[in-house]
Amino acid sequence: MEGLEVTVLLGLTILVGTLIAPRVRLALPLVLVIFGLLLGFVPELREVQLPPEMVLLLFLPVILFWESLTTSLRSIRRDFRYILPMSTLLVVASAFAVAGIAVLFGMPWEIALILGAAVAPPDATAVAALGRLLPRRSFMKLKAESLTNDGTALVLYAIAVSLALGGQITPWSVTWDVLVSYVGGVAAGAAIAALGYLLLSRSSSTIVINVTLLLIPFSAFLVAEIVHASGVLAVVVAGLIVAYISPRVTTASSRRQADAAWPFGVFLLNGALFVLIGLEVQYVAHEISAAAIGRLLLITLAVWATLLVVRYLFQLFNALFQGRPTSPLPRGVRSRARAVSTVAGMRGAVSLAIALSVPASISDGGAVSGRDEIVFITAGVILLSLLVQAPLLPMIVRWAKFPADHAEDEEYELAERAISGAALAALDDLAAEHGVGQEVRDRVRAEGYQMLEFENARSLAREQALVDAEADALDDLLDEPDPLGIGGVDTTPDPTPIATGPTGGTDAVDGTVLQIIATSADVDLAQRSPLIRHEEHTRLKLALIDRKREVLLGLRGAGTVDDMVVRRISARLDLEQVRLQGIEEFD
C-alpha cells in the first residue's frame, strides 16, 4: 500500500478506536491492538511493515521526551534506591531467566538471550497509557523505571547479537559497553540540554522555542548513537533537564502551545504504534509454519509467566536493601503493592523495536536462525500484556485497597496559598516599581484577597468532604443513616431566587431581554483614563504572576511541592498571563 493510504487508514483506525473504547469500557491501546489484529486478516494490509529504525528514531524520541517532561524529578530522587536496581539488575535477571526458559524449549542460547533482552524491559509508553490507575507515587516509580531500563536492555541486546554473529565477548568488553552506554547516554543528553538552554534563553519567539524543543530529543538520540551510547537514555536525561529549566527559559505562550501540541502528537504516535503492533503479529504469524505455531505459543506463555514471576520475586529481594520506608505501610498493603507493580509492568514499543532490529543476515549472507521466532514471541508477550494485564490492572488495584493519598491535593493547596500570600505581600512594592495608581492597586489587592479566601475555602471544603465521607461510612456501618444529611441539616434546596438588577427590577430571567437601565453622557475628563487604568492593571497583574512563579519555583527547589503540582499551577499562571497579554502576543 502507498504511504498516504496507510496514513489515512491509521488515522481512521485511531479515530474509530477513540470513539469505541469508552463505550466498551476498554483501554484505548487494547482496542487499537485488537483493530490491528483484525486489519491483519487483509493480505494487503498485512504487508505493511514496521521498520525498526522508525520506532527507534521517530516514535521513541518524541514519546520518551514527552514522558520525561511529565515525570517528577522529586519522585526519582526520593525513590532512586528502588528505581536503580529495578532498571538494571531486574532487566538482567529477567533477560537471563527468559533465555533459560527458551533454551529448555530448544532455542539456541544466543538466540534465547536476544529474546530475553527484547522482552526484559517494561515499556514507558505502555505504562503511561495504562498505568494511570495506580497511586501517584507507585505510578511515578514505575514510569521512572520504564524510562531508564531500556539502556540496560539495549546493551544486553548488543552483546547477544554479537555472540549470535560469532563475536568474542569478554568481561572487559561487557563492562566497557555498559559504561559507554550509560555514561555516554547521560553525557549526550546533558550536552544537548545545555545547548538547548543556551538557545532557549536567547529567544522569546514561540515558534523558535518550540522548534528547539522538538529538535532536542532527536539531537540527543543522534549524538548518543554517534558515540555508540544509549540514545534512549540520552533522550530521557535531556527531557528531565529541560523539564526543570523550562519555566525559566521559555515563555508562557510557548508553553501553552507546547502543552497543546505535544500530548496530541504523542497520542497519535502511540495510537499508530499499537495498531502497527497488531499488524506485525499477523504478518509474523503468517510467515511461520502452522506446525511451529503451537510450540511458539507455549514458549510465549512460558516467557510471559516467567517475566511476571521474576518481577515479583525481585521486588521481594529488592525490599531487603531499601531500608525503612519514609511512609511505612502495613505488611499486607506492601505485599499487595508488589502484586500491583508486577501486573503493571507491561511490554510495548521498545521490546518490538529490539526484536525487529535483529539482523536478517550475517556477513556471509546466511540467515540468522530464529529471527522470526524472536519477533513472534516478543509480539505475543506484548499482546498478553495488553490483553491480559491491562484489563486485570483495575481489578488488582481495587483489590490492593491502597490507603487514600491526598498528598498531591494538600501540596497543591499549600502552593496556591503560598504564592497568593507572597504576591499580596509584594503588591505595594511592585505597584510602586511599575508606577501603578492607588485605585488600581486597591482593586488588585481586593482580587488577591478574594483568590486567597477562595483557596482557603477550597482547602476547608476538601477537609470537610473527608470528614463527611468518614461520617457516611460510619452511618453505613451502623446501618443508621441520618435522614436529614450530615449534622442534621436539611439539604432540601431553596426555591430559585429571582435575579434583580441594580434598581430592583427583573434582569434577564427566563428569556427576558436585557435592557440598559442607566446611561451617562457626563464623562469627567479630569479622571485617569480607563485606558491608563487598564494598562496599569495589566502591568501589575503580570508583575504579580512573575512573583508567584518565582515563589512556586522556590517551593519546588526546596522540595516542598512536587514537580507535577508545579506543572499544574504553572499552566494556570500561563493561561492568565496569555489572557492579559492578548492574542497578538500569544501568536
Q: What is the 3-state secondary structure (H, E, C) of 412-479?
A: HHHHHHHHHHHHHHCHHHHHHHCCCCHHHHHHHHHHHHHHHHHHHHHHHHHHHHHHHHHHHHHHHHHC
Instruction: Let me know: does 449 contact 441? Beta carbons within 8 Å.
Output: no
DSSP three-state, residue 489: coil
Q: Which has the closest alpha carbon to 578: 289, 349, 272, 260? A: 260
pLDDT (tens, 9 = 90+) of the chain, 587 residues, equals: 567 888 899 999 999 999 998 898 887 888 888 898 899 888 888 777 767 677 777 788 888 899 889 888 888 888 888 888 988 899 999 999 999 999 999 888 888 999 999 999 888 767 766 666 677 878 888 888 888 887 788 888 888 888 877 777 777 888 888 888 889 999 999 999 999 999 999 988 889 999 999 999 999 999 998 988 888 899 999 999 999 999 999 999 899 999 989 999 988 988 888 888 888 888 888 878 777 888 899 999 999 999 999 999 998 888 776 655 555 556 667 788 888 888 888 888 778 878 887 776 544 444 456 778 888 899 889 889 888 888 888 888 888 888 777 888 888 888 988 998 888 888 888 888 888 888 887 888 888 777 777 777 777 877 778 788 777 777 777 765 554 444 444 444 444 444 444 444 444 444 444 443 444 444 443 445 667 777 888 888 899 999 999 999 999 988 889 998 999 999 999 999 988 886 544 44
Half-sphere exposure of 34 (CA within 13 A, CB side): 15
* Cβ burial, residue 77 (10 Å; 0-12/13-18/19+): exposed
DSSP three-state, residue 523: coil
Computed from CA positions of residues 129, 130, 131, 132, in that sequence, does the dihedral angle turn out positive or negative? Answer: positive
CA distance 266 to 60: 10
Q: Which has the closest alpha carbon to 126: 350, 341, 397? A: 350
Instruction: Let me know: does 93 contact 310? Beta carbons within 8 Å.
Output: yes
Phi, psi angles (nearest 5°) of residue 571: -60, -40
> Which numeric CATH code is attached to 3-400?
1.20.1530.20
Q: Which has the closest alpha carbon to 445: 524, 526, 323, 541? A: 541
CA distance 372 to 95: 18
CA-based radius of gyration for the chain: 29
CA distance 251 to 261: 15
Q: Is the pTM of this model over 0.85?
A: no
Instruction: Let me know: does 354 contact 378? Beta carbons within 8 Å.
Output: yes
* Cβ burial, residue 476 (10 Å; 0-12/13-18/19+): exposed
Start-end of CATH 1.20.1530.20 domains in the chain: 3-400
